[in-house]
Chain A
Amino acid sequence: MNGQPTRVTIASGDRIIAATDDFSFVRNEITFLFGESGIGKSMLCKAVYGLLDPTELDITVGSMSYRHYLDINEIEGISRLGFFVFQEPSSHLNPLMRISAQLREGTIDGTEDEREIFERLWENRDTRKVEEILDVYPKPYRPSGGEKQRILLAMAFKKIRRLAVHPRDVSALFIFDEPTGSLDNRYRDRFLAFLFEEYMLRQFTALVITHDYSIISEIYSKNNGLLDRIHFRELRHKGEGRVELVDFHADDYLTWLRSTSGKKNVTMAGEPVLRLSSRFTIFGRGHRICRDEEHAQETDLLIRAGEMVYVKAPSGTGKTTLAKIVMGLYKAETFSMTLVGSSISQATPRLFFEREVWGRRAGMVFQHADEALDLEATVTETFAGLPHGRTFSHAELIRFLGEIFEGNLDETFLSRQIKFLSGGQKQRLNLLRTIIMHPPLIILDEPLNGLDFDSARKIIAMLDQMRKQGSALLLISHNEEIFDALVEKECVYYLT
């Protein structure tokens, strides 16, 4: 972790889970680590932080066995002074302890700086709400994912504030694993600003694992004074579980973003594919679709053939719910829409969706590929059973997959089980399964989830191609920067 190459190997039996010849980061600086999901970012970080179980996995760090590595003094310093913010906040929090007790436990006891930390991570008007949350035992649904994530960040900041300003605690390591995964951009930006501010004072070593490339723009626009202390790195596949850590050139992303933004296509206004009434009610709660961020101009959501429409809303508002209503997976109490010429309302039976909508008039790509795909099935089996009685030959599949899969695709790849693919490969398959049917309407719920930059670029190019071929695309994503660049302003809707 001190800049010297650190070889890390994590294996289970004969299978290498993640192995790299160099997993080192510059001490006392901040590194943002990108890479597609499932590549082993978290696993390697946990190994270096000493969090993995040596009895379950075969791990070596440097030339040391993991048991030996766990015994060295440096590891003790890393965890005693540092903090590891886990990706899934629910698994970090103890459901049998009040949040306030967990927030004041062990090395982060004391309440003296809590209020200020909350105010930094929440908005001032929310702090009363925070105090209510502190009194509860964490449940799957309460506090919300974003609130839980901020509570973990608050713990990390409490620990950061325990660090001495002079002399510096050089061995402290702070790892933030997807710290902004459940946060809206405004809370993400608050977190980043707070992190950089604390860093300026204490200059600890921080490693931020993320898929959110728009962080780069935020840093370049607001914190470019810190750029010489910030590193962007990316973990890339080398095959057979082997990965390499390379520099990620922020300019590549920024240039691509600018070029995407400049290429916004004039909408090819085709026939309306979907018209959704501006008001709908589900689970006893009314929603509105608006043209503007202030929610003043209520309007029907209209998507024509060849259009890409982007629906924005803060997390938890109901974007995915809206998509599921359109697909007939949720029954709204009141709603109406016209889909490819057919009027549909809350009274439309599910059978209609089964026979006329699913895979025919519309398809939907779900957010989490790990849930949406049958992980036990093979790549070929993923494309079996699709409507229209269509079966795909191996040659057809290889040609189709070749459009967004790198490397030599062959029969071996087609017979590989999904569970052995990386997160990015799964997400691409998740998209392709819907795209291959070319339905008039494709709903994409967080289509860039878990993708690295190269894959995201390929997916976006493919979506643009689909649009040009006449598909209507409805995008739901919190990745506002990329989709704002990609979608024309008049095709952006706000859900409230």
Chain B
Amino acid sequence: MNAPVELPSAREVCPTTTRRLLAEGALMVDVRELGEVAQVAFDVPGVLLMPLSELQERFGELPRDRELVMVCQVGERSLKATYFLMYQGYTRVANMEGGLFKWARKGFPIKGAAPVAEPATSGCCGGSAASAPASSCCTPSPASGSTCC
């Protein structure tokens, strides 16, 4: 197995910033398992499904020359995926904090039933802001903080 690497804090972005990054050409990578995706999915053109359980075998499919935004249900598995890709030498990768819950809460497009349970999260991008423009709220921030703006 490989030697240890001292990783910097992962870059974390909120759903609003994610939408802006997607508009600029970023690729959304959903690491939830396929059964979860079947229930409710990000309604984003071109979203790539790569369950965390397959990431180790399949990460080579991910482009290194394109911004990647890793997503999952609440932002924890995708953070792990983000660090894994950083370990593998990816530099253009960010984690969407809050995951699908936060995305849906902001009124951003999903397919399927809206998630009913929601984890207790805090941060500046909370609340309903379905009409917020994609560039309005957040800028990327390191993973060490709990806020995104």
**Is B truly associated with A?**
no
> Could you list which residues of chain A lie within 8 angstroms of chain B, going by C-beta atoms?
none
> Could you list which residues of chain B lie within 8 angstroms of chain A, going by C-beta atoms?
none
